[in-house]
């Protein structure tokens, strides 16, 4: 790949990220969640997702074992797979690359949505900007 092609590719990725995050209010309404976009920032879901993947999420009225959900735990957003559902309707989750289940079940009120689309590595630009600019 030539230097010119690399620059064009990076510009297109930056434009895609800008458009995706700039359209966030529209996506929130359309997908029914206040968090319609998430960028993978850890290796806990390897090989399903990689650091830098952009995830598109949608709210669902029901979730089932096998769904990959985004949830809030102590102010941190986490993307893990549902591996069981408790008798009270909470979700037992686990990262695909993690050796054990997460320590606490996730109540339905803490779930923002499930992953419906993955755009590989497009979110890497967002992670890089966050690291450089501190946001």
The domain that contains 128 carries what CATH number?
Answer: 2.10.109.10
pLDDT reading at 23 higher than 70: no
Compare 56 and 105 and report the one with higher pLDDT: 105
Tens of pLDDT, residue by residue over 81-97, are 999 999 999 999 999 99
Q: Which helix (H) or strand (E) holds 21?
A: helix 3-22
8 A C-beta contact, residue 44 and residue 81: no
Q: Which helix (H) or strand (E) holds 31?
A: helix 24-31
In 3D space, the residue among 82, 56, 60, 71 whose CA is nearest the CA of residue 111 turns out to be 71
- Give the chain's domain count: 1
Q: Which helix (H) or strand (E) holds 6?
A: helix 3-22
> 37 burial class (0-12, 13-18, 19+ CB within 10 angstroms)?
buried
Q: What is the pTM of this model?
A: 0.75
pLDDT reading at 17 higher than 70: no
pLDDT reading at 55 higher than 80: yes
For residue 106, the model assigns a pLDDT of: 98
pLDDT reading at 135 higher than 60: no
Could you tell me if residue 65 is left (phi over 0), alpha (psi between -120 and 50 degrees) or otherwise beta? beta
User: Could you tell me the residue range of the domain that residue 89 belongs to?
Assistant: 3-133
For residue 38, the model assigns a pLDDT of: 87
The mean predicted confidence, pLDDT, of the chain is 85
Task: Tell me the residue ranges of DSSP E strands in 1-135.
Answer: 37-39, 54-58, 68-73, 76-85, 91-94, 111-119
8 A C-beta contact, residue 77 and residue 38: yes
């Amino acid at each position: 790949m030539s230097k010119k092609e690399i620059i064009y590719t990076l510009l297109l990725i930056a434009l895609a990220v800008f458009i995706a995050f700039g359209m966030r209010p529209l996506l929130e309404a359309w997908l029914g969640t206040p968090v319609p976009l998430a960028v993978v920032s850890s290796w806990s879901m390897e090989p399903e997702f990689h650091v830098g993947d952009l995830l598109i999420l949608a709210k669902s009225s029901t979730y089932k074992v096998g769904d990959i959900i985004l949830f809030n735990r102590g102010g941190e957003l986490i993307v893990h797979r549902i591996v069981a559902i408790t008798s009270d309707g909470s979700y037992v989750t686990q990262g695909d690359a993690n050796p054990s289940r997460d320590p606490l079940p996730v109540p339905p009120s803490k779930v923002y949505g499930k992953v419906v689309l993955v755009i590989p590595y497009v979110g890497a630009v967002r992670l890089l900007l966050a690291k450089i600019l501190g946001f």
